[in-house]
Chain A
Amino acid sequence: MRRLFQEKTTRNNTVTYLMVIAAYVLMQLLLSGGHISSALQGQLVPITAYIVMAVSLNLTVGVLGELSLGHAGFMSVGAFSGVIMSFLLESQIASPGLRLLLSMIIGAIVAGIFGFLIGIPVMRLQGDYLAIVTLAFGEIIKNVMNTIYIGLDAEGLKLSMSSSAALNLVEGGKTIINGPMGAVGIKKLSTFTAGFVLILITLFIVLNLINSRAGRAIMAVRDNKIAAESLGISVWRYRMMAFITSATLAGAAGALYALNYSTVIARKFDFNTSILVLVFVVLGGMGNIRGSIIAATILTVLPEVLRAFNDIRMLAYAVILILVMLARNNARLKRLFGQIKGIFTRQQAVVNIEEGGDSLD
């Protein structure tokens, strides 16, 4: 029985990997054939960044079972530290690929450190109180980033909390982060391939974590904290492990995202972005990694496809979001889907649908 279960997870994971690789190969083929609109082409990198964001948040929300409303804060930290790194390396390293890699690593590390620091107080709380503290951290990061000025000149990096003039840059120096104006003049380094590789790495880390001893411990903590504790599982340690991993991956995604545009501002990574990523996770299914990937892709492309609706574009987006949530979670509609499915598979699919709700919740 256990082997059967293991085989099933392996198969399931393989499908996820294959899906990502197939999508990548397909896109590359279409790209080389010139069959892809600039609109879609321009979205490839942000889609990969959002996928990584969604998968990493799923680790906190789905696997660890805690609601985080400040995931964009880690993206912000990763984005800005990645951008600073890319500026520092600009004169040192010629290869853009290597610069991107190092920037993403730095973004990931800094976000990981923030994940640790924030995790210390956050992991002492539970439920909505934990959620509100993550929201608070996201807002603090945004607010503080708006008052930070960082410049680079011959003397090195300079920091100020008042204005770019207070940096006193020497001749030839430039402001990298200019308070509310954010970072400007970023050299675009991100590529679709880099995003694809980051997705694979993320999948590798997250799926292995879930299917490892640690992952089972994390899920045990989620399902019943006290029972897990009584079995000798160090609750705090495993919760921190999941949280920091999640933050680290978000930081890498942030660096990837930021280095795809010539400018990035702190306000981008606000509560709304955190919520957006949360929507990906919930829509894809909590704990369902493949679902997160698909949901992130669709919901990023959807507003663009809806441009045809002009004025009522965002209204249509809202309606679709509500309808999908209803269709996905309403017991009656689910039974309907189940019956349709039953016709195809000639099975009584109704049985396990009766309970309602997500199996992992």
Chain B
Amino acid sequence: MAFLSYLISGISLGSIYAIIALGYTMVYGIAKMLNFAHGDVIMVGGYMAYMATTEFGWSPLPSTLFAMAVCTLLGVLIEQFAYKPLRRAPSLAVLITAIGVSYFLQNAALLLWSANPKSFTSVVPFGTLRLFDGRLIISGTAMFTIIICIVIIVGLSAIVHRTKVGKAMRAVSEDRDAAQLMGVSVNRTISTTFAIGSALAAIAGVLLSSAYPILMPTSGAMPGIKAFTAAVFGGIGSIPGAFLGGILLGIIEILGKAYISTQLSDAIVFAVLIIILLVKPTGLLGRKVLVKV
């Protein structure tokens, strides 16, 4: 029974990683850049929802929508001002710029909301589920997170595979120049991707803060790195890969803590990651890169 409850905590933690990882993987797949500021957009999303619920007294749903709107705007602005001028620059230059943006967001949050932690009121609408005479307890947050994660994956897959925007995204991801020749507006597609990724970050921020209700300017940094790891783990650029990578990372983290050592839990997660990458060098669901000679 203990195993089952660990597994559920793992999946719930993994779902949050998965939603964040989706943002990484989409941006990577289409703009070919590692957006290290993604974790901090999550933090901003958390603060926005916090402001909406406590300062404006809004209920959870409009608060989340508000956070999504602000993050979308923020994501597009960041893209316009910091990344767009570097469209043709080497990818590492964009990476460093993203790190600069990450520092900027963290320190701006420090000035705006102070370093004092804020306690987030959970937006989860349902309570704890007790099974087997209370021997298995599933928190409402865990169930809610997992459900939302699945909804997002399904929705995102639908967007990518069934809509025109999605087609454009896939085209740009496949071959940017060819897509441009076929009349796809590369710039607009990339902006759309950032908008979707940032909206997802806002949802992730709300869920993360609901599950672990302490908000600080540095709240987004650590989940950001973990989710980046998850995205690579699953095969960066692949949407199902991000989902799988996130869930697995969460499970490994919790089970490693439970059955091996709480002291070395991070080391265990990363060791498993290395082993898997050695067996599958392009991640779990990553595409084999064909090298043309």
A residues with CB within 8 A of B:
61, 67, 121, 124-126, 128-129, 131-133, 135-137, 139-140, 143-144, 146-147, 225-227, 271, 275, 278-279, 282-283, 286, 311-312, 314-315, 317-319, 321-322, 325-326, 328-333, 356-358, 361
Contact = CB atoms under 8 A, between A and B. Distances in A.
B171 interface: no
Contacts of B96: 278-279, 282-283, 321, 325
B93 to A, nearest CB: 4
A330 B283 contact: no
Given A143-B266, A329-B89, A282 B95 contact: yes
Contacts of B282: 129
Contacts of A317: 103
Contacts of A143: 264, 266-267, 270
Nearest to A319: B104
Given A139-B267, A331-B88, A322 B104 contact: yes
B107 A326 contact: no
A132 B34 contact: no
A124 B289 CA distance: 14
Given A325-B93, A328-B93, A132 B103 contact: no
B92 A286 contact: yes
A132 B229 contact: yes
9 contacts: A129-B232, A136-B229, A143-B270, A147-B263, A312-B111, A318-B103, A322-B100, A328-B93, A358-B90
A154 B25 CA distance: 55
A137 B270 contact: yes
A19 B108 CA distance: 38
Contacts of A139: 266-267, 270
B271 interface: yes
Contact of A136 (B86, B92, B270): B270
Interface string B266-293: 1100110110011001110010010101
A278 B97 CA distance: 12
B99 to A, nearest CB: 6
Given A143-B270, A315-B107, 11 more contacts: A128-B28, A128-B236, A133-B273, A139-B270, A227-B293, A278-B96, A282-B95, A322-B100, A322-B101, A356-B88, A361-B90
A146 B236 CA distance: 30
B160 interface: no
Contacts of B264: 143-144, 147
Contacts of B293: 226-227
Contacts of B273: 132-133, 136
A330 B271 CA distance: 39
B137 interface: no
B100 A325 contact: yes
B134 interface: no
Contacts of A67: 92
B89 A357 contact: yes
Contacts of B107: 312, 314-315, 318
A132 B25 CA distance: 14
A131 B89 CA distance: 19
Contacts of A129: 232, 277, 281-283, 286
A315 B274 contact: no
B225 interface: yes
B270 A140 contact: yes
Interface string B223-244: 0010011001100100000000
Interface string B68-101: 0000000000000010011011101101110111
Contacts of A330: 85-86, 89
